[in-house]
Amino acid sequence: MTVLSLRNVWKIYGGDVVAVRDASFQAADGEFVALLGPSGCGKSSTMRMIAGLEDISRGDILFGEEVVNQLSPKDRNVALAFESYALYSPMTVRENLEFPLRSRGLATDVITAKVAEIARTFQIDDLLDRRPSKLSGGQAQRVSLARALIRDPNVMLLDEPLSHLDYRLRTELRVRIRRIHDELNATTIYVTHDQEEAVALSDRIIVMNHAEIQQFGEIETLWKRPVNRFVAGFLGDPAMNFVDVRLTDGRAVAAAGDISYDAGIGNGQAVLGFRPEEVDIVAAAEVDGGLKGEILVNEFHGERCVLTVDSGSGQLKAVDRGDSPWRAGDTVALVLRPEAVHLFDSDTGLAVRHGTEAQT
């Protein structure tokens, strides 16, 4: 039962390279929190400090009320699964899995049962008698993950635990990770660069970039009210469309004149954003003026289709249903939904407006 808190935590390498800048957040007891960001954003450094594998340059990390800055990794009672696995090479897979249980003095039949169960969960039951050197990268990663989760930890720290697996297996196994979390009710921090994985698994997501936490919130908040252009563009595939606009007397107008949106605010330059999923696609003839263009490509992906539209405001993406009637070469109008249009400051990238609400 652990609330995990970071208070103004910094990681500075070599005196001047800031890997983590003033990070503060609190994960509730039993919460599943994703640390999401591109490579080099500081998410792994943050995780390694929580695990005790790196010193904290400044600030405090607390498990419950206790500051753990000085505690060694094993005294923090955390389960660690890292992208680079570190299995014990002289031992078989079975012995690797048994190891954390033996050190806790469990009975042999309990150990055997737990190993069998976790091996089935992560689809490694046919690998139990192999040594780590005989495993593929993806297999070794699953063994590492199984070993971390076999011991009923209070806190699970998982750093890209599925990154070496192919897509199919990754989507299957993440369901089981979430299930294990739900059973143990262990506070979980999950590092990933994959926004879809973060959305699928987490109760809340921390988005990091350039060593700083950009936003911490529930999926719906990040989706509808991203604090800046980075967060807006990082979540979602295909990514949010961005178009430069000029604000004049409360209207945001694109250079090509094909977007005109009642922004209700200010003057000067801004960036207008809308998600490919949140635009209506209609025949060009049905609309006077507005955002129109020729469909360059209509990609069928099964449940949905992704259109690339060559508009006066650049190449834009729009998502349609799987039975999309449009073909490459058709001209369509993209009708923005006022409640799903975002405006960002051109210089700072900060959100100034979401839909019909201004940001303060």
Partner 1 sequence: MSVLRLDGVSKNYGRTEALRDVSFECEEGEFFTLFGPSGAGKTTILELIAGIKDGYSGRIEIKGRGAEDLAIQDRNVSMAFEYYALYPHLSVGENIAFPLRSPRAQKLGEAEIARKVQWTADELGIGHLLDRNPVQLSGGQKQRVSLARALVRPADVYLLDEPIAHLDAKLRSIARANLKAMARNLGATILYVTHDFREALGLSDRVLVLNEGRVLQIAEPRDLYHRPATDFVGHLLGDPAMNLVDGVLVDTPDGPVFEAAGIRIALSDALIDEARARLARGAADIRLGVRPSGVAVSADAVEGATGLPVYTVEHATDHALVYFRIGEAYLGGTAPFGSPLSTGDQAWLRLKDGAGFLFDASFALSASSGMKEAAR
Interacting residues toward partner 1 by CB under 8 A: 120, 123-127, 136, 138-139, 142, 166-169, 171-172, 174-176, 178-179, 182-183, 194, 196, 199-202, 219-220, 223, 235-239, 277, 296-297, 299-303, 306, 308, 315, 317, 322, 328
Residue 56 or 206: the one with the smaller Cβ distance to partner 1 is 206
DSSP string, 215-279: EEE-HHHHHHS-SBHHHHHHSSSSPPEEEEEEEETTEEEETTS--EEE--S--EEEEEEE-TTSE
Please, what is the minimum distance in Å from the beta carbon of residue 264 to partner 1? 26
Only one residue has tokens 């407006």, namely: 353
Instruction: Return the number of the residue (80 or 135) whose C-beta is nearest partner 1.
Output: 135
| Residue among 166 and 286 whose Cβ is closer to partner 1 | 166
Residue closer to partner 1, measured from CB, 183 or 249: 183
d(CA 57, CA 211): 14
Closest CA relative to residue 267, chosen from 287, 245, 285: 245
CA distance 195 to 235: 6
For tokens 């999401």, what's the residue? Answer: 36
Residue 103 or 185: the one with the smaller Cβ distance to partner 1 is: 185
Query: Least separation, in Å, of the C-beta of 119 and partner 1?
Result: 9
- Cβ closer to partner 1: 174 or 354? 174
Closest distance between partner 1 and the C-beta of residue 316, in Å?
11
Distance in Å, CB of 261 to partner 1, minimum:
22
Closer residue to partner 1, CB minimum distance, 185 or 269: 185
CB of 198 to partner 1, least distance (A): 10
**Max alpha carbon distance in the chain (Å)?**
76
Distance CA 217, CA 66 (A): 25
Per the structure block, which two tokens stand in for 234?
């990082």
Give ∠ CA 36-275-311 in degrees, rounded to 5.
130
**Residue 323 beta carbon to partner 1: minimum distance, rounded to whole angstroms:** 8
The token pair at 317 is 């993406």
Query: In the complex, what is the shortest distance from the CB of residue 352 to partner 1, in angstroms, rounded to a whole number?
Result: 23
Name the burial class of residue 162, with classes exposed (0-12), middle (13-18) and buried (19+) by CB atoms within 10 angstroms of its CB: buried
* 226's tokens: 């991203």
In whole angstroms, how close is the CB of 225 to partner 1 at the nearest point?
13
The residue among 137 and 257 lying less far from partner 1, judged by its C-beta, is 137
Q: Is the peptide bond before 153 cis (omega within 30 degrees of 0)?
A: no
Distance CA(286)–CA(294), nearest Å, equals: 15
Query: Least distance to partner 1 from the beta carbon of 94, Å?
Result: 15
Minimum CB distance to partner 1 smaller for 16 or for 166: 166
DSSP string, 280-317: EEEEGGGSSSSEEEEEEEEEE-SSEEEEEEEETTEEEE
